[in-house]
C-alpha cells in the first residue's frame, strides 16, 4: 500500500490551505449552522484579529467555554494562527471547576456565550489574575468592543509564519479517572500528524460525512474534527448527544462514518425501538470501544459497516492505536489495533521495567511525534510520568499480541488484589454484561480485612428490567473464579454516574463503597458459597 505523506502543519495553515484549494467544500455542520472551508477560514481570521486586539500574543492561552459550534472551531483556529494556545473548557463544569482551569491555565481571554456569563462571574469572583478579557460571542456589545480594537489582517499574516509545528496548539485538561485535572500540552504537529494517520487508516475522503457526539473540549473530539479538516470530509456534530434524535441526524446528513467512541453513546442509539426504520446503509465505518461482547453486538447491528476500535488517551492526542480496516473482525472487536504512524510502544513489567513478551499483561509505555509535551505548569508531575528516554508511563495495563496489536485491560489501579490473586476489573465487568438485565457496570475494589480487597460492582439496569444484588452475585458464582465474584452490588440510575467526559470516575466509586462500609461497620465481605 502506498503511504500518503504530508508535512506536519499548523492548525491555521491547514484551514487556510483547504480554503484556498477547496473554498466551497462543506467543512462543518452544527446545530447553529454550517460552514464551508472558505467561511471557516474567514471567521477564524476575524477571531485572530480580535484576539490580537485584546493583547493576545504567542504562547498566551485563550479559553473556550462554548457550545459545539462553528464559532468554537473558528476561535481555536484563529488562536492558532497567531501562535496562541486554546484551552477548551468542559461545558459541564461548575464554578469551582471552571475557576481551577481559568487560574491554572493563566488564560488571558475566555471566549464564551451569554448563557455562561453568570457561571464565569461566579468562578472569577475571587479574582483571576491573568484573565484580562471575557469575549461573549453572542453579545453585540462585547463583539463591538472587540471589533473596535481588532488588529488588521496584515498583522495576523505577519505572525502566522512564525508559528512552529512543535509549538503548543491546545492544552486539554483531563482529570482522567484518578485525580485532579492536569493540562496536557498538544502541539500542532502532534494533532495534524495524528489527524492524517486517522484519515489514512479510516480511508477518509472528501465524499465522507463524519458524525461524532464527542464534545469538542475533549481530545477525541478535537482529533476527530482535525481528521475531517485534513481529509476534506464534512464534520457533522449534534452539539450535544441526544439518542432520541441521533438516527434522524445520521440519515438526513447522509453520514458515512460514525465515530461513536463509547458504548454509552452508541448503545442507546442501537437500542432504540425504531432503529430498523432508519436507512443507515450509507454508514461504511463505525468506531467504538468496549468489551468484546458489546463490540460484537454493535457490529451485528450494522453488519455491512466496518467496525474498528482503538486505544486512546489525551496524552497521545487521542488515538495511540487504531484497527486497520482489513483486520479480521475478531481482531477488531478484541484488540485496539496497531500503533499510529510514528508511534513507538512498549509493554513492560510495572515493577522492574523489563520488556515483556507478547500476550503478557504489562504497563503501556509510548513515545513519538503525536505524544503530548508534558503537563502545563506541572514539571513535577511531568517528570513522574515521562522518563529520561522520553517514554510516557501510562499507568494502563495492556497486552500486545505477536503482530503488535494492543488490547487495553484496565488501569493498573483497576487491578484488584483479592487475597493475593490479581483480578482485572474489566474482565469481571465483561462477564456481568452478559446478564440480560445489566446495561452498564463498573467494578472497583472494596476494602476487606480478610482479603485486603474484594470486587464491588456498580450496576445500571436496562430499562424495564429488574435484578437483585443476590441475583447478580449468584449469576457469577460457579461461572467465574470465586475470588473474582463481586461481593457487593450497588445500583446507579442513568445520568447519575460520576463521569469525566465519557469515562466513569472509578476513584469516586471506590470512595463511595469504602465510606458506606465504614459507616455500616462492615470490615469483611460475606463469604461466597460455591456449588
In a domain, 272, yes or no: no
pTM of the model: 0.84
Q: Tell whether the model's pLDDT for residue 176 goes beyond 60.
A: no
Q: From 331, 333, 265, 269, select the one nearest 297 (Cα to Cα).
A: 333
In a domain, 239, yes or no: no
Q: Tell whether the model's pLDDT for residue 14 goes beyond 90.
A: yes
Structural domain range at position 460: 419-520
In a domain, 259, yes or no: no
pLDDT digits (tens, 9 = 90+) for 179-201: 467 999 999 999 999 999 999 99
For residue 482, give the CATH number of its domain. 3.30.300.30
Domain count, the chain: 2
Task: Report the C-alpha gap between 350 and 324 in whole angstroms.
Answer: 29
In a domain, 54, yes or no: yes
Q: DSSP label at 152?
A: P
For residue 3, give the CATH number of its domain. 3.40.50.12780
In a domain, 102, yes or no: yes
Task: Report the C-alpha gap between 130 and 132 in whole angstroms.
Answer: 6
CB 239 within 8 A of CB 251: no
In a domain, 278, yes or no: no
Let me know how long the chain is: 531
pLDDT digits (tens, 9 = 90+) for 438-488: 999 999 999 998 888 999 999 999 999 999 999 999 999 988 888 889 999
pLDDT digits (tens, 9 = 90+) for 232-290: 999 999 999 999 999 999 999 999 999 998 887 898 999 999 999 999 999 999 999 98
User: Could you say which of 172, 187, 202 is where a domain stops?
Assistant: 187
Q: From 188, 175, 169, 429, select the one nearest 289 (Cα to Cα).
A: 429
Across the strands, what pairs with 397?
363, 410
Residue-by-residue DSSP string for 57-78: -TT-EEEEE--SSHHHHHHHHH
Q: DSSP label at 412?
A: G
Task: Report the C-alpha gap between 220 and 265 in whole angstroms.
Answer: 14
Taking the CA atoms of residue 23, residue 29, residue 34 and residue 39 in that order, the dihedral angle to the nearest 10 degrees is -30
In a domain, 68, yes or no: yes
User: Could you say which of 187, 216, 231 is where a domain stops?
Assistant: 187
Q: Tell whether the model's pLDDT for residue 5 goes beyond 50.
A: no
Work out the mean pLDDT of the chain and round it to a whole number: 93
In a domain, 469, yes or no: yes
**Pairing mode, strands 26-30 and 234-236:** parallel
User: Could you say which of 187, 209, 242 is where a domain stops?
Assistant: 187
Residue 1 pLDDT class (50, 70, 90 cuts): very low
Amino acid at each position: 500500500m502506498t503511504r500518503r505523506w504530508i508535512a506536519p502543519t499548523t492548525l491555521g495553515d491547514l484551514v487556510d490551505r483547504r480554503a484556498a484549494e477547496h473554498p466551497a467544500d462543506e467543512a462543518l455542520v452544527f446545530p447553529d449552522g454550517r460552514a464551508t472551508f472558505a467561511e471557516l477560514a474567514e471567521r477564524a481570521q476575524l477571531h485572530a484579529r480580535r484576539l490580537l486586539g485584546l493583547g493576545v500574543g504567542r504562547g498566551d492561552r485563550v479559553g473556550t467555554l462554548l457550545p459545539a459550534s462553528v464559532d468554537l472551531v473558528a476561535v481555536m483556529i484563529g488562536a492558532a494562527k497567531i501562535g496562541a494556545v486554546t484551552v477548551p473548557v468542559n461545558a459541564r463544569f461548575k464554578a469551582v471547576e471552571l475557576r481551577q482551569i481559568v487560574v491554572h491555565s493563566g488564560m488571558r481571554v475566555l471566549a464564551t456565550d451569554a448563557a455562561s456569563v453568570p457561571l464565569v462571574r461566579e468562578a472569577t469572583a475571587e479574582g483571576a489574575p491573568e484573565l484580562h478579557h471575557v469575549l461573549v460571542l453572542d453579545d453585540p456589545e462585547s463583539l463591538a468592543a472587540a471589533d473596535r480594537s481588532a488588529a488588521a489582517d496584515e498583522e495576523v499574516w505577519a505572525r502566522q509564519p512564525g508559528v512552529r509545528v512543535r509549538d503548543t496548539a491546545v492544552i486539554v485538561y483531563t482529570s482522567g479517572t484518578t485525580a485532579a485535572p492536569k493540562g496536557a500540552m498538544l502541539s500542532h504537529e502532534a494533532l495534524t500528524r495524528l489527524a492524517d494517520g486517522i484519515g489514512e487508516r479510516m480511508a477518509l475522503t472528501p465524499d465522507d460525512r463524519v458524525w461524532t457526539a464527542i464534545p469538542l473540549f475533549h481530545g477525541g473530539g478535537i482529533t476527530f474534527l482535525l481528521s475531517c479538516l485534513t481529509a476534506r470530509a464534512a464534520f457533522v456534530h449534534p452539539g450535544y448527544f441526544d439518542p432520541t434524535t441521533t438516527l434522524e441526524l445520521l440519515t438526513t446528513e447522509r453520514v458515512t462514518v460514525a465515530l461513536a467512541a463509547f458504548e454509552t453513546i452508541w448503545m442507546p442509539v442501537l437500542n432504540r425501538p425504531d432503529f430498523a426504520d432508519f436507512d443507515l446503509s450509507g454508514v461504511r465505518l463505525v468506531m467504538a470501544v468496549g468489551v468484546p461482547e458489546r463490540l460484537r453486538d454493535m457490529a451485528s447491528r450494522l453488519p455491512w459497516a466496518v467496525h474498528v476500535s482503538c486505544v486512546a488517551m489525551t496524552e497521545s492526542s487521542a488515538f495511540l492505536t487504531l484497527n486497520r480496516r482489513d483486520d479480521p473482525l475478531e481482531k477488531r472487536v478484541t484488540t485496539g489495533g496497531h500503533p499510529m504512524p510514528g508511534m513507538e510502544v512498549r509493554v513492560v513489567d510495572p515493577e522492574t521495567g523489563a520488556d515483556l513478551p507478547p500476550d503478557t499483561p504489562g504497563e503501556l509505555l509510548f513515545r513519538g511525534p503525536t505524544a503530548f509535551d508534558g503537563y502545563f505548569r506541572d514539571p513535577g508531575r511531568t517528570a513522574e510520568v515521562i522518563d529520561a528516554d522520553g517514554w510516557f508511563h501510562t499507568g494502563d495495563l495492556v497486552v500486545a499480541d505477536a503482530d503488535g496489536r494492543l488490547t487495553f485491560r484496565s488501569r493498573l489501579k483497576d487491578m484488584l488484589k483479592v487475597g493475593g490473586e490479581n483480578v482485572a476489573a474489566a474482565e469481571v465487568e465483561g462477564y456481568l454484561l452478559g446478564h440480560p438485565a445489566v446495561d452498564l457496570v463498573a467494578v472497583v475494589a472494596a476494602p476487606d480485612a480478610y482479603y485486603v480487597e474484594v470486587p464491588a460492582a456498580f450496576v445500571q439496569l436496562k430499562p424495564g428490567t429488574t435484578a437483585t444484588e443476590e441475583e447478580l452475585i449468584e449469576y457469577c458464582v460457579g461461572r467465574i473464579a470465586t475470588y473474582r465474584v463481586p461481593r457487593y452490588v450497588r445500583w446507579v440510575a442513568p445520568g447519575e454516574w460520576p463521569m469525566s467526559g465519557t469515562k466513569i470516575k472509578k476513584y469516586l466509586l471506590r470512595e463511595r463503597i469504602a465510606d458506606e462500609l465504614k459507616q455500616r461497620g462492615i470490615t469483611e465481605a460475606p463469604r461466597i458459597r460455591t456449588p
